[in-house]
Amino acid sequence: MVWSTRYFDDLNTTGSNLLFGTKTNTTQFAKHTFLLSSSSVNLPSSLSFYTSSSMADEVILLDFWVSPFATRVKIALAEKGVDYESREEDLSNKSPLFLKMNPVHKQVPVLIHNGKPVCESLIIVQYIDEVWNHKSPLLPCDPHQRAQARFWADFVDKKIYSGGKLMWSSTGEAQEAAKNDLIGCLKLLEGELGDKPYFGGDTFGFVDVALIPFYNFFYTTEQLGNFRTVAECPKLVAWGHRCMEKECVSKSLPDHHKLSDYFLGFKKNLEAKFIALGCS
Ligand code: GS8
Ligand 1 atom with minimal separation from the 108 CA: 16
Please write the tens of the pLDDT for every residue from 55-96: 579 999 999 999 999 999 999 999 999 999 999 999 999 999
* Per-residue confidence (pLDDT) for residue 31, from 0 to 100: 33
Give the distance (Å) from ligand 1 centre to CA of residue 42.
33
Assigned domain for 10 exists: no
* Per-residue confidence (pLDDT) for residue 258, from 0 to 100: 83
Alpha-carbon dihedral sign for residues 52, 54, 58, 62: positive
Give the distance (Å) from ligand 1 centre to CA of residue 3.
20
Q: Are residues 105 and 167 in the same domain?
A: no
Q: Are residues 115 and 26 in the same domain?
A: yes
Q: Are residues 123 and 68 in the same domain?
A: yes
CB 64 near ligand 1, within 6 Å = yes
Give the distance (Å) from ligand 1 centre to CA of residue 142.
30
- Domain with residue 61: its CATH number is 3.40.30.10
Q: Are residues 165 and 260 in the same domain?
A: yes
* Per-residue confidence (pLDDT) for residue 20, from 0 to 100: 42
Q: Are residues 127 and 150 in the same domain?
A: no
Ligand 1 atom with minimal separation from the 94 CA: 21
Assigned domain for 1 exists: no
Least confident piece of the model among 2-6, 146-150, 205-209? 2-6
- Domain with residue 189: its CATH number is 1.20.1050.10
Assigned domain for 11 exists: no
Taking all residues of the chain, what is their mean pLDDT, rounded to a whole number? 82
Q: Are residues 147 and 127 in the same domain?
A: no
CB 21 near ligand 1, within 6 Å = yes
Instruction: Please report which confidence band the pLDDT of residue 279 belongs to, taking 50, 70 and 90 as the band edges.
Output: low
Q: Are residues 266 and 205 in the same domain?
A: yes
**Of 16, 75, 108, which is best to mutate to test ligand 1, by the most ligand atoms within 8 angstroms of its C-beta?**
108
Ligand 1 atom with minimal separation from the 21 CA: 4
Assigned domain for 20 exists: yes
Please write the tens of the pLDDT for every residue from 13-61: 333 444 444 433 333 333 333 333 333 344 444 444 444 555 579 999 9
The domain boundary residue, chosen from 87, 105, 131: 131
Q: Are residues 51 and 162 in the same domain?
A: no
Instruction: Please report which confidence band the pLDDT of residue 97 belongs to, taking 50, 70 and 90 as the band edges.
Output: very high
Instruction: Please report which confidence band the pLDDT of residue 5 belongs to, taking 50, 70 and 90 as the band edges.
Output: very low
* Per-residue confidence (pLDDT) for residue 240, from 0 to 100: 96
How far apart CA 208 and CA 229 sit, in angstroms, is 17
Please write the tens of the pLDDT for every residue from 251-265: 999 987 888 788 777
Give 39: exposed, middle or buried? Use CB within 10 Å, 0-12, 13-18, 19+: buried
CB 71 near ligand 1, within 6 Å = no
Could you give the C-alpha distances from 245 to 78, 125, 202, 236, 251, in angstroms and in order? 14, 20, 15, 14, 10
Q: Are residues 216 and 266 in the same domain?
A: yes
Assigned domain for 138 exists: no
Question: Is the pTM of the predicted complex or chain greater than 0.85?
Answer: no
Name every residue whose Cβ is closer than 8 Å to that of residue 264 and which is 6 or more positions away in sequence. 220, 223, 224
CB 126 near ligand 1, within 6 Å = no
The domain boundary residue, chosen from 84, 107, 131: 131
Assigned domain for 9 exists: no
Q: Is residue 275 over pLDDT 80?
A: no
**3-class SS string, the chain:** CECCCCCCCCCCCCCHHHHHCCCCCCCCCCCCCCCCCCCCCCCCHHHHHHHCCCCCCCEEEEECCCCHHHHHHHHHHHHHCCCCEEEECCCCCCCHHHHHHCCCCCCCCEEEECCEEEECHHHHHHHHHHHCCCCCCCCCCCHHHHHHHHHHHHHHHHHHHHHHHHHHCCCHHHHHHHHHHHHHHHHHHHHHHCCCCECCECCCCHHHHHHHHHHHHHHHHHHHHCCCHHHHCHHHHHHHHHHHCCHHHHCCCCCHHHHHHHHHHHHHHHHHHHHHCCCC
Q: Are residues 122 and 177 in the same domain?
A: no
Q: Are residues 155 and 272 in the same domain?
A: yes
Name every residue whose Cβ is closer than 8 Å to that of residue 147 and which is 6 or more positions away in sequence. none
- Residue nearest to ligand 1 atom 9, measured at CA: 120
Q: What is the domain extent for residue 211?
A: 143-276
Please write the tens of the pLDDT for every residue from 225-253: 888 889 999 999 999 999 999 999 999 99
The answer to whether the beta carbons of residues 103 and 55 sit under 8 Å apart is no
Give the distance (Å) from ligand 1 centre to CA of residue 152.
19
Name every residue whose Cβ is closer than 8 Å to that of residue 242 and which is 6 or more positions away in sequence. 197, 198
CB 220 near ligand 1, within 6 Å = no
The domain boundary residue, chosen from 131, 154, 176: 131
Work out how many domains the chain is built from and give that number.
2
Assigned domain for 118 exists: yes
Q: Are residues 119 and 158 in the same domain?
A: no
Assigned domain for 5 exists: no
Name every residue whose Cβ is closer than 8 Å to that of residue 145 and which is 6 or more positions away in sequence. none
> Which amino acid appears at position 165 of this protein?
K
